[in-house]
């Protein structure tokens, strides 16, 4: 009744003592077991709880009060590393980071994560090797540490050795406020515009503020959605480290104690707005879920690797077993061949002995017949006995033939067995040949690829050589062209000079061909004298052209 009353009060549920009496009406004689109380707890208390209708820290304090007195065992001499209040905060952090199944345990990765955050807040490096040694001493069947084992480990001083309790308390408080997301801020009023110090508590959907950290008197709340934003403001009115939260209806101005606290609050509020837009509840829960998924992926990869190793081991064992069976089959075949040879030799010896015996008996029979022919009349009875003996020998011969046929049949059966063994060996050889063929094809493909690479390389070298030769020929053509151009220009100069000379000689010849004279006779003579110059001039002109 006391426990139920306290739960009703802390969870802000109307008291219903009649339901308790009705639930345990038939169980008044004996004590109340935990199995009997759990249905009542689920039905009449937990099912009636509304999200946000109660203060979670009060509920945590109630649970800590109920469990710590029996399970938490600090040092009686007052030499504990953490105080009672810090132990409560570590207990809250443990409940937040533990696995979501009962009994609650914290896996080694989360233990290391929490201790690293505390050591980082104190600017101290965590000794991971010593932590691994401590965790390796825990029972093998346990998946992690319980909250009381975790508190005992912290109080042992192995990981926080030489650090003052005040520094540890400040580090625990810093990590607690980071994870729980609450703390003091200065807030400016909307009507009177004065500054008041309020205790703020951040959740993904709302930023609530109270008169003090006891959170008994709630002063208001700021609804956070995807339309909200956070902006940093310059210092003014004697306030520093200011920032504001803008909603669709109002702008809230706030001031932090230092720049670091302002950065933490702005980042936390922006993260809460983003988580609200994504439909998530808490940044640290999201990070915790991601770390859990990473652990599960590592475990899956490790299990897959172990399964692959086991499968390879089984394949190796299967291969060795088949090789042993093959060796046994080969040994059995050799033994069978040896036994077959021995049996065949023994039967041959028996056959030879029997044949010799028959030959001896036949010779004796012939001798007896010769003697009987001489004494036919006297020894008729003896001849009759000899005939009977011959019949017996013939019967024995038939039996020998049957034995030989049975031997032939046994040999045929043996040959069939040998043929089956040979067929198995042939199949094994074919498989080996296929493997060798695949290996040869692979080698041929590699050689072919190398050859093609060499051919391509040779072709590139030939093309480069051809290109170089073409360039050289082009240079030679250019040089020849320049030389020909020079020759043409020289020939043109000579032609112009020759044309000038021809014109000069034509003038001289014209003068010589028309001299000034007094009479016609001289004219005829002069005409006859210079008449031979005209063909000569025409010939010179043609040669010059």
Q: Residue 227's domain is classified under what CATH number?
A: 2.30.29.30
* pLDDT score of 529: 40
Model-level pTM? 0.43
Q: Which of 422, 430, 433, 436 is nearest to 330 (CA)?
A: 422
**Overall domain count for the chain:** 2
Q: What are the structure tokens assigned to 28, written together?
A: 């008044």
Contact by Cβ (8 Å): 200, 185: yes
SS (H, E, C) 116-138: HHHHHHCCCCCCHHHHHHHHHCC
* In a domain? residue 177: no
Instruction: Classify residue 244: in a domain, yes or no.
Output: yes
Local confidence pLDDT in tens for the 545 residues of the chain:
888 888 888 888 888 878 877 777 765 554 555 557 777 888 888 888 876 677 777 788 888 888 888 887 776 665 677 777 878 888 887 777 776 677 777 777 777 777 777 777 777 777 777 777 777 776 644 667 788 887 777 777 776 666 777 777 787 777 776 666 556 677 777 777 788 888 887 776 788 888 877 777 888 888 888 888 888 888 887 788 888 988 888 888 888 888 877 887 887 788 778 777 776 655 556 556 666 666 677 778 888 888 888 888 988 998 999 999 999 999 999 999 999 999 999 999 999 999 999 999 999 988 888 888 888 878 787 778 888 889 988 888 888 888 888 888 888 888 888 898 888 888 888 888 888 888 888 888 999 888 888 998 888 888 888 888 888 988 888 888 888 889 889 888 888 888 888 888 888 877 777 655 566 554 443 444 444 444 444 444 554 54
HSE-CB at 140 with a 13 A cutoff on CA atoms is 0
Q: Which residue has the tokens 């109380």?
A: 37
For strand 195-202 and strand 206-210, is the pairing parallel, antiparallel, or unpaired? antiparallel
- Spatial distance between the Cα atoms of 83 and 120, rounded to a whole number of angstroms: 20
Structure tokens at 144: 């992690």
- Do residues 242 and 257 touch, judged by C-beta distance below 8 A? no
Tell me if 228 is assigned to some domain. Answer: yes
Q: Are 64 and 91 in contact (CB under 8 A)?
A: yes
Is there a domain that residue 469 lies in? no
Among residues 281, 296, 318, which one ends one of the domains? 281
* CA distances in angstroms from 31 to 18, 34, 37, 297, listed in the order given: 19, 10, 11, 46
Report the C-alpha gap between 295 and 112 in whole angstroms: 13
The Cα–Cα gap between 172 and 115 comes to 10
Count of C-beta atoms within a 10 Å radius of residue 201: 20
Structural domain includes residue 277: yes
Token output for 10 = 């802390």
Last residue in a domain, options 281, 310, 344: 281
Domain span at 268:
182-281
* Residue 44, domain member (yes or no): yes
> Which of 226, 177, 227 minimizes the C-alpha distance to 202?
177
Which positions ≥6 away from 272 have C-beta within 8 Å?
A: 181, 202, 203, 204, 205, 207, 224, 283
**Residue 224, domain member (yes or no):** yes
13 domain residue, yes or no? yes
| Contact of 62 with 21, CB cutoff 8 Å | no
Residue ending a domain, choose from 281, 316, 340: 281
């Amino acid at each position: 009744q006391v426990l139920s009353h306290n739960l009703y009060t802390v969870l802000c549920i109307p008291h219903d003592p009649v339901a308790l009496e009705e639930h345990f009406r038939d169980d008044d004689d004996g004590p109340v077991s935990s199995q009997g109380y759990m249905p009542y707890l689920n039905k009449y208390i937990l099912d009636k709880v509304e999200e946000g209708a109660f203060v979670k820290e009060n509920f945590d304090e109630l649970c800590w009060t109920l469990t710590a007195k029996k399970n938490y065992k600090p040092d009686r001499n007052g030499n504990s590393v953490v105080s009672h209040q810090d132990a409560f905060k570590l207990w809250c952090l443990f409940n937040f980071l533990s696995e979501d199944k009962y009994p609650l345990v914290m896996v080694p990765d989360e233990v290391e994560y929490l201790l690293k955050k505390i050591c980082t807040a104190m600017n101290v490096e965590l000794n991971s090797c010593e932590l691994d040694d401590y965790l390796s001493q825990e029972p093998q069947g346990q998946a992690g540490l319980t909250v009381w084992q975790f508190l005992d480990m912290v109080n042992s001083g192995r990981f926080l050795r030489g650090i003052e309790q005040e520094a540890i308390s400040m580090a625990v408080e810093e990590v607690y406020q980071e994870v729980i997301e609450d703390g003091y801020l200065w807030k400016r009023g909307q009507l009177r515009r004065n500054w008041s110090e309020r205790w703020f508590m951040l959740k993904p959907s709302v930023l609530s503020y109270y008169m003090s950290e006891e959170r008994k008197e709630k002063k208001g709340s700021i609804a956070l959605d995807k339309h909200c934003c956070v902006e940093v403001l310059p210092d003014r009115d004697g306030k520093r480290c200011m920032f504001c939260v803008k909603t669709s209806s109002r702008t809230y101005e706030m001031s932090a104690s230092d720049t670091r606290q302002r950065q933490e609050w702005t980042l936390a509020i922006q993260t809460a707005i983003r988580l609200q837009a994504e439909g998530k509840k808490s940044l640290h829960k999201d990070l915790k879920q991601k770390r859990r998924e990473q652990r599960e992926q590592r475990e899956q990869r490790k299990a897959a690797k172990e399964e692959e190793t086991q499968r390879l081991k089984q394949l190796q064992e299967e291969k060795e077993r088949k090789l042993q069976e093959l060796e046994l089959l080969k040994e059995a075949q050799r033994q069978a061949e040896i036994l077959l040879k021995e049996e065949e030799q023994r039967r041959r010896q028996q056959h030879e002995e029997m044949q010799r015996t028959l030959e001896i008996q036949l010779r004796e029979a012939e001798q007896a017949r010769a003697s009987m022919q001489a004494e036919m009349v006297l020894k008729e009875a003896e001849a009759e006995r000899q005939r009977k003996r011959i019949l017996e020998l013939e019967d024995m011969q038939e039996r020998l033939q049957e034995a030989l046929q049975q031997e032939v049949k046994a040999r045929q059966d043996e040959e069939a067995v040998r043929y089956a063994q040979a067929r198995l060996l042939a199949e094994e050889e074919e498989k080996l040949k296929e493997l060798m063929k695949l290996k040869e094809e692979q080698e041929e493909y590699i050689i072919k690829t190398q050859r093609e690479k060499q051919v391509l390389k040779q072709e590139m070298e030939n093309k480069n050589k051809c290109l170089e030769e073409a360039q050289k020929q082009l240079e030679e053509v250019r040089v020849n062209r320049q030389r020909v151009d020079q020759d043409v220009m020289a020939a043109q100069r000579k032609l112009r000079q020759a044309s000038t000379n021809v014109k000069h000689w034509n003038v001289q010849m014209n003068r010589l061909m028309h001299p000034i004279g007094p009479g016609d006779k001289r004219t005829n003579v002069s005409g006859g004298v210079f008449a031979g110059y005209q063909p000569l001039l025409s010939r010179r002109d043609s040669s010059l052209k």
